[in-house]
């Protein structure tokens, strides 16, 4: 395992504020007593503001449903306009998760949660991009409200994934079955239901100031959906295994989502019921487990970081243990230290697994910056055995990861489409790889699209802002459309990156 040393990381030192920022939901006084302290800006390796803008444009390329007049990616058109009709329910809208045309509720909800968390922590830094970020959240939450309209029911998927994956066609041409899948008391799904509750609760905070009535609607629904998740316990991939696996199987179980959902409802409601729920159930739901991978499937680490804030910033003493749990996770990431448990590529990229590794790079970077914010606000540090790690070090590590993603890597390639001079041109994405409706109004049949999938030509439509799965363990990236592990973008790769880019753009004086 090749890890970059801490001295190497320190050469990337950039001066970040020792103070906290917010979008107004979580305003805490700084040491000088000013809500917006003067920043001493460090040098920027990249145009983070441009990357932030592009990272949000990407979500418009993933939209399903009727597109609005202000749609910026013009090569996309309306799609999925009869979704839900098979079950006499309106399920139009939402996002396609990645390069296919299925709407998977589990990763969509996680995407909404992480976009919302990005706005909650760093929305105050986003300036003109804040409205675009809220629109990206709302495209998901409007759909999640439809999917949870009936009590004790959550519609968790639209589209037969196996049949969809047997075709290579534009979403505008879809003729594969738009089968609807749901969870209910007889087919429970605590994982996807609790993640949906988390998304609705987090979004309620993101909209609390700008749209109070929408915020209240989201929160009331979150409460109801969480009750369903907790009362009827089970993993959704048990009852729906043939339809959701291996695509978005709940490998980690549903306990992590129950803890995560309760943490978000505690934050959004400040109702002691949720704090009590966390105190009583936290241990059995895995609060102390050493599963240090945060993504669409496993939420334990995110819950630890989120709950540590209640202890660090709001001084909720009963959540003291979550500071220790969060520190354990952070310690596992520090490269070149004996307590590190994380693999890095020779070029310095955090490496978890071959399939869509960049999702762990973006989610980890977000958690590092967010925890650094909480520690700074409370004048605390991370304790790793006998070693202390400062918030500044966490920011350095996060910045190094984002910089690698944007082009500071052995291939000098940006892994964000449309950013920089060199980026992936043959991404695994149906709509991007096939001629647009404007260029080819006639229908492209299911199987005939595969000729475009196998060609070496660049994709005709640029999916601006899409972050792909990324390089392998040795920093290699073939840029092949057929290689979905490395070349497919996904909404849950971009969502946590939005917050990280907002922070980096602001700290380097670009916002």
The rounded distance, in Å, linking the Cα atoms of 318 and 84 is: 44
485: exposed, middle or buried (Cβ count in 10 Å: 0-12, 13-18, 19+):
middle
The rounded distance, in Å, linking the Cα atoms of 175 and 164 is: 9
State the catalytic residues. Answer: 428, 479, 488
The rounded distance, in Å, linking the Cα atoms of 116 and 123 is: 9
Helix, strand, coil % (nearest 5) of the chain?
Answer: 45, 5, 50
The rounded distance, in Å, linking the Cα atoms of 133 and 116 is: 8
Which residues lie across from 95 on neighbouring strands? 63
The rounded distance, in Å, linking the Cα atoms of 476 and 271 is: 49
The three state secondary structure string of 150-206 is CCCCEEEEECCHHHHHCCCCCHHHCCCCCCEEEEECCECCHHHHHHHHHHHHHHHHH
Counting other chains too, the contacts that 474-478 makes at CB distance below 8 Å and 24 or more residues apart are 474/345, 474/346, 475/345, 475/346, 475/347, 475/349, 475/409, 475/410, 475/411, 476/411, 477/411, 477/413, 477/415, 477/424
The residue behind tokens 């475009």 is 452
């Amino acid at each position: 395992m090749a890890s970059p040393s801490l001295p190497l990381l320190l050469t990337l030192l950039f001066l970040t504020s020792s103070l906290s920022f917010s979008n107004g939901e979580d305003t805490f006084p700084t040491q000088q007593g000013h809500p917006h302290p003067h920043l001493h800006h460090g040098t920027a390796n990249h145009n983070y503001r441009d990357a932030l803008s592009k990272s949000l444009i990407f979500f418009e390329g993933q939209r399903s449903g009727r597109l609005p007049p202000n749609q910026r990616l013009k090569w996309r058109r309306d799609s999925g306009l009869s979704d839900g009709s098979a079950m006499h329910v309106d399920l139009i809208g939402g996002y396609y998760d990645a390069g296919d045309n299925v709407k998977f509720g589990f990763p969509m909800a996680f995407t909404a949660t992480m976009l919302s968390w990005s706005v909650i922590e760093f929305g105050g830094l986003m300036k003109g991009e804040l409205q675009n970020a809220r629109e990206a959240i709302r495209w998901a939450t409007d759909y999640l409200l439809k999917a949870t309209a009936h009590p004790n029911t959550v519609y968790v998927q639209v589209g037969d994934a196996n049949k969809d994956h047997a075709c290579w066609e534009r979403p505008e041409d879809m003729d594969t079955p738009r089968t609807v899948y749901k969870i209910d008391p007889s087919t429970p799904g605590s994982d996807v239901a609790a993640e949906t509750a988390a998304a609705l609760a987090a979004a309620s905070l993101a909209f609390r100031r700008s749209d109070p009535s929408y915020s209240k609607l989201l929160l009331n629904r979150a409460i109801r959906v969480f009750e369903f998740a907790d009362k009827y316990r089970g993993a959704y991939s048990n009852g729906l295994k043939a339809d959701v696996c291996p695509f978005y199987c709940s490998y980690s179980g549903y306990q992590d989502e129950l803890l995560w959902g309760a943490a978000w409802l505690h934050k959004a409601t400040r109702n002691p019921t949720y704090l009590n729920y966390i105190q009583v159930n936290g241990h059995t739901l895995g609060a102390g487990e050493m599963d240090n991978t945060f993504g669409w499937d496993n939420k334990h680490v995110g819950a630890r970081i989120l709950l540590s804030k209640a202890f660090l910033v709001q001084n909720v003493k009963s959540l003291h243990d979550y500071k220790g749990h969060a520190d354990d996770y952070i310690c596992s990431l520090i490269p070149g230290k004996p307590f590190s448990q994380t693999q890095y590529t020779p070029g310095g990229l955090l490496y978890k697994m071959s399939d869509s590794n960049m999702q762990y790079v973006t989610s980890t970077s977000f958690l590092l910056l967010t925890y650094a914010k909480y520690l700074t606000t409370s004048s605390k540090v991370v304790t790793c055995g006998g070693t202390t790690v400062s918030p500044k070090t966490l920011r350095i590590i996060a910045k190094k990861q984002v910089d690698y993603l944007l082009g500071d890597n052995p291939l000098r390639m940006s892994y964000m489409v449309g950013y920089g001079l060199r980026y992936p041109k043959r991404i695994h994405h149906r709509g991007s790889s096939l001629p647009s409706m404007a260029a080819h109004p006639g229908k492209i049949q299911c199987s005939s699209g595969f000729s475009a999938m196998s060609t070496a030509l660049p994709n005709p439509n640029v999916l601006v802002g899409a972050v792909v799965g990324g390089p392998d363990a040795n920093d290699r990236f073939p840029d092949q459309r057929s290689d979905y592990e490395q070349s497919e973008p996904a909404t849950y790769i971009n969502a946590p990156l939005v917050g990280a880019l907002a922070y980096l753009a602001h700290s380097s004086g670009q916002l």
